[in-house]
Amino acid sequence: MKLSMKTRFLPVMHWYIQNPKLFCIAFLLSGFCSCGLIQNDTPSTPSNFRVQDIDANRVNLAWDKSDGHVVYYLIERRDPNGSLFEKDAGYFKTTYMDSNLECETTYYYRIQARGEEQNTMSDNPKTLYSDYSEEIPVTTKTCLKAAVISQGDNGEGYNNGCAITISGGLKCWGTNDHGQLGLGIFGYDVPGDAVDIAGLTEGVKDVSVGDMHICALTSLGGVKCWGSHKYGQLGTGSTDDLYDYSFGYSYGPDPFSPDPLDVTGLSSGVTAISSGANYTCALTTQSGVKCWGNGFNYPVNITGLSGGIVSLRTGYDTACVLISDRKIECWGPESWENAPSEVFTFTESIKGIAVGAYHFCALFSGGDVKCWKGWVGEFGGSLSFGDTPVDIPGLSGRPISINAGSYYTCILNSDGVIECWYPDVLQTRQLYKIDLSQTDFPAKKFTAFSVGFKFAYAITSNGGVKWWEFDPAGSEPGTKVDDLYVSGLAGFIP
């Protein structure tokens, strides 16, 4: 019986499936056809595995491409406690960034190339492994000093942040149109790079950021400011040797300095500083307060305040001092030489105060938080707590610090969680919790934070910086807390 071509070919195909290599070899020897052999093309070990760059909580790794067929590169990280983490670095790149690391910590990395059998009919080709490279140790850089971070913005494009490193150096990032980055030049923004401020790479005790100016307190008790001097924010007493934003020369309508300048009469004797939108105030060793800006280009004594000042805080254009831990005295730009314009007295001991654009809050030693005042009628509704201080309900954990933006307030609690609210919290009972333990692994905590008109920056327990944005109209703050990577500082990649 004559078999059909199909009938004769089926046994051959069955034999091929069972013995693909022999099938191909047989066909090659017969000269019938040419086909590729099954390749056992194991990739070579990636060579020149190295560190490209290190920061406080991230590392850039690089290597040379492997020979052979590579499906992907596998990065293995060994943590100080011995835990191993494997990360797929892809197949077409020869660099990889590992982030979310602890600062001042040594990690160990090695790399392996992985491929698979070629020219096989199998649905599950065999994985082929190169040898691992030699393990390399990587020590992350110095942690950010968690005590001091400052941020300023006006909601219209001006946005700067500054932080003090563990060594006492000052680094800033963001807008530079008025020389806020202290580079000696202006007009070059570096939102993703923290730059050293000239003359302030060590010995910085405190920093405070306004809308378009920045001031620093040195360990010697002196104050230096830079950026816009349009409203006298630099406190130099004149516009000599300043640039002009509009025309590029001195004495113009919008003077500024891209270099830190000494504030007149404050080369020593200052214990704290705090900046509002267009002014800064300083608390002196004699328990006095001096302010400049808001139309005064030199420090003005704030007269009429009670003695025993404990701390100083500023809002948009209102400043307050805490007196002997139970009384708060405040003043605005119209009452600098006749303060205070408002006085609030409490029976409980106050641990910290916060000043917004129109509202005030106090953190009491027992952990309670009260707020009062606010703006009525803005954004089509009320953003006021009322004239009588009211308790903020529903706070979790024990508050340890408090800070206010223009229209909202936040606390940092002992669990490392930040909680924020608007004045309508009394009606909505809505608190906005920002908890890194739910999003970051290994779990992180916040250690310090600063808020402005729209933006907030916070330092994490591994020395990183995170940021989020608020809606000044009083709706929910940004639901996604982004990682802010600041080169030269601790940070993350967005």
Distance CA 175, CA 179 (A): 8
Which positions ≥6 away from 487 have C-beta within 8 Å?
Answer: 55, 192, 193, 194
Distance CA 293, CA 275 (A): 10
Assess whether pLDDT exceeds 70 at residue 19.
no
61 and 22 within one domain? no
241-273 pLDDT, tens digit each: 677 655 444 444 578 888 899 999 999 999 999
Distance CA 396, CA 369 (A): 12
**pLDDT confidence band for 23 (50 / 70 / 90):** very low
More confident residue, 274 or 250: 274
108: CATH? 2.60.40.10
57 and 148 within one domain? no
Assess whether pLDDT exceeds 80 at residue 166.
no
325 and 245 within one domain? yes
The mean pLDDT value for 131-135 works out to: 95
Mean residue pLDDT across the chain: 79
55-99 pLDDT, tens digit each: 777 899 999 999 888 889 999 999 998 889 999 998 888 999 998
Strands lying side by side in the sheet with 170-174: 144-153, 159-165, 170-174, 190-196
201 and 349 within one domain? yes
51 and 32 within one domain? no
Q: How many domains does the chain fold into? A: 3
Would you say residue 491 lies in a domain? no
Would you say residue 494 lies in a domain? no
Assess whether pLDDT exceeds 60 at residue 354.
yes
Q: Which domain holds residue 51?
A: 47-139
